[in-house]
Amino acid sequence: GFCLYLLFITRQFSSLRATQSLAFTNVLRSVVPRRSLGHGPPMTKPMIQDRVMLVLRLYDKVDPEKLTEKSDFVKDFGLDSLDHVELVMAMEEEFNFEIPDVDSERFKTPADIIRYICDKYDVYD
């Protein structure tokens, strides 16, 4: 259903770079339901982990078979700074809040992203 459609949209736009990334984000905004910190059921760490890992698995430069929470984006997948920006934008869309550059620069692994989002939702182990 929806996940396959999102995968299709993601694959269609996966080769976009720099200025085209904004167009990709706008397309996602038109098909992905909006979420906010104050609406819906309370988030749990497993929910956040699942959503972060799904977004990462859908990214064409991340090998889903090799992806773990400890994977290093640069060392394990060779992601560059533009890839990093695209991933951060995808996370912003998924969780419906902006992530400042000063915070996103610390995202080296999926675990870093999960920890950051858990902090935003006040979800702790």
Note the pLDDT tens digit of each residue in 16-69. 444 455 555 555 555 544 444 556 789 999 999 999 999 999 999 999 999 999
Domain ranges of the chain: 52-124
Top CATH class, 52-124: mainly alpha
**DSSP conformation letters of 72-110:** -HHHHH---HHHHHHHHHHHHHHHTS---HHHHTT--SH
Query: Could you tell me which of 61, 65, 86, 64 has the C-alpha nearest to residue 74?
Result: 61
Out of 50, 60, 63, 80, pick the active-site residue. 80
Tell me whether residue 80 is one of the annotated catalytic residues.
Answer: yes
**38 closest CA partner among 104, 122, 124:** 122
88, 104 in Cβ contact below 8 A? yes
Tell me what pLDDT residue 125 has: 76
Q: Express each pLDDT in 8-28 by its tens digit.
A: 555 555 544 444 555 555 555
- Which DSSP category does 57 fall into? H
